[in-house]
Amino acid sequence: MTLVPIYRALLLAGFQQAAQYRVQSLLWMLFAIIRPVIFLAAWVAVATAQGGSIAGYSVGDFAAYYVCLTFVSQLAMAWNSHEFEWEVNQGRLSPKLLRPLHPLHYSVVDNIIFKLNTLPVLGLILVAISLSFGARYATQPWHVVAFVPSIILAAALLFMFNWVIASLAFWATRMRTANTLFQRASFVFAGQIAPISLMPVWLQAMSFGLPFWYMQGAPTEILKGSVTVEQALLIMAGQSLWLVVTYVAFRWIWRRGLRAYQAVGA
């Protein structure tokens, strides 16, 4: 049966709820863009000190990269691994498990609402950063077209990966360490600390083999216009592969997790 009426009702209730927390949503969004802006400022300073570029990356290239990365990070963002631990430990998961709808759907709706609520302000901020740093994009129309499926795959991959980590809360009381590990890995392998092409070759090879780059760095490169058609297709193949792997892992862990669930506090 179709999920459309359920999503419509959940979105309606979710927007009503979010309307009461608009400031909080905006603060979360600003908090999330601080890091890429700091990296941008640092790389711009280094590039300027070295005569205007590093390994072929000019100040404008760095600006374009970090603006695209910030946009991608916001669109692909997922946070359910943080919330799920609380839901399991406080018994908030139980009412959801007693309804004929997988708990994952509530997260999808929360995710969409947060992004739709914060996107207009984010857009304005990114335009301002682009202009003030003189961002230089090589984006062709086909890059924008390719970006759409790529960002959807990235968001789905990050979301499912978050659910895999979240599901570990069925066994572990505190999930903070797993979350931190995931964030640190993203820091290096997703292209947050620097564009991946500036990394040592062995680190680049690792990034291509791990899922993190496909969540953020890869769609960033597509949007920035720094990949060929073949590379874009390869990226999407990699994203699809990791999405399938992550989804299968989630299903496996979730089934076992439910068996281990102790429904405490509920």
What residues make contact with another protein under the rule CB under 8 A? 1, 5-6, 8-10, 12-13, 16-17, 20-21, 91, 94-95, 97-101, 258-259, 261-263, 266
Burial class (CB in 10 A: 0-12, 13-18, 19+), 151: buried
Nearer to another protein, 93 or 135 (CB): 93
Instruction: Tell me the three-class secondary structure of 25-86, residue by residue.
Output: HHHHHHHHHHHHHHHHHHHHHHHHHCCCEECCEEHHHHHHHHHHHHHHHHHHCCCHHHHHHH
Q: In the bound complex, what is the minimum distance in angstroms from residue 179's beta carbon to another protein?
A: 21
**Interacting residues of 219 by C-beta distance below 8 A, sequence separation 6+:** 72, 76, 147, 150, 151, 153, 154, 235
Q: In the bound complex, what is the minimum distance in angstroms from residue 5's beta carbon to another protein?
A: 5
Nearer to another protein, 97 or 229 (CB): 97
- 164 close to 107: Cβ distance less than 8 angstroms: no
Q: In the bound complex, what is the minimum distance in angstroms from residue 160's beta carbon to another protein?
A: 21
Nearer to another protein, 184 or 256 (CB): 256
Give Cα separations from 223 to 64, 142, 151 (angstroms).
Answer: 9, 10, 9
Q: In the bound complex, what is the minimum distance in angstroms from residue 82's beta carbon to another protein?
A: 19
Nearer to another protein, 183 or 262 (CB): 262
Nearer to another protein, 144 or 172 (CB): 172
Q: In the bound complex, what is the minimum distance in angstroms from residue 184's beta carbon to another protein?
A: 22
The pair of structure tokens assigned to 258 is: 């439910």
